[in-house]
Amino acid sequence: MESRRAETGLVLLACALVLAGVPGASVAQAGGRTIYCCDVGGQPVCGDILPAACYGRAYREMSPSGVVRRVVAAPLTPEEIARRAEVERQHRAAEADRQRQLRLDQALLETYRSLDDLDSRRDRELRDLDRSIRELRERESELVKRQSALISDATQTDDSAVAASLEEDIRTLDSEIITQSRVIAAKLRERSAVLDRFEEHRQRYVELMGAPSANGVSRNGRGVVPGSND
């Protein structure tokens, strides 16, 4: 039965080759050839070389018995090439982000021994900033008091030369007060940034320590329980 179907296939293929204009086509000749076929308008177009009608189309390489040996896809259009390039770019960007996050996570686990260590470092930085802010505000308060005293003296003196000198000192102090206020505002922003940074580190640290690997050991490889001091 199989040989009968094969013979029938050879006969049909030979007929197809004749119709396709292949000179001297025969079953025997077809038996050693690769046949190239594509679909044009819903109809197959075949030949023992790739027909011109198949250029720019998907085509099949077939044995004389009709077995498809290989399918060759149609060339990509410019739009398809652009889409493929964009997908590849997105994959590369995603992989770069993944590698970056891995490096950040590793650095985080190497920086803090535990959550208590993280909290301790945060509190230490905040104490230093709070002390600096307190000193700056004390300095600002002193400048304001000195300026107030000079303003009072300037309003009480009748000596124009003294009044002019006092006004110059008042303007100098005014500039110093503005500068001091700006420094305080910068320190307050720095304090807020420290809080945000440590909160972000803390959340990520909890995620990493609470996500065991496949063997049940925590991500840092030591099996540390989140928040422990071990």
pLDDT in tens, the chain (230 residues): 433 333 334 434 444 544 444 444 444 444 568 999 999 998 999 999 999 999 989 999 999 888 999 999 999 888 989 999 999 999 999 999 999 999 999 999 999 999 999 999 999 999 999 999 999 999 999 999 888 888 887 777 777 777 778 788 888 888 899 999 999 999 999 999 999 999 999 999 999 988 443 333 344 443 333 334 33
Residue 32 lies in a domain: yes
Residues 61 and 102 in one domain: no
Residues 139 and 180 in one domain: yes
Determine the pLDDT at residue 225: 35
Residues 152 and 118 in one domain: yes
Residues 64 and 120 in one domain: no
Domain count, the chain: 2
Residue 215 lies in a domain: no
Domain that holds residue 182: 96-209
Residues 53 and 102 in one domain: no
Residue 175 lies in a domain: yes
Residues 102 and 68 in one domain: no
Residues 110 and 166 in one domain: yes
- Residue 98's alpha-carbon distances to 89, 92, 101, 104, in angstroms, are 14, 10, 5, 10
Residues 103 and 174 in one domain: yes
By CB atoms closer than 10 A (0-12, 13-18, 19+), residue 144 is middle
Determine the pLDDT at residue 105: 95
Q: What is the model's pTM? A: 0.54
| Cα(5)–Cα(26) distance, integer angstroms | 17
Residues 40 and 135 in one domain: no
Residue 78 lies in a domain: no
Determine the pLDDT at residue 15: 44
Which residues sit opposite 38 in a β-bridge?
Answer: 45
Determine the pLDDT at residue 174: 87
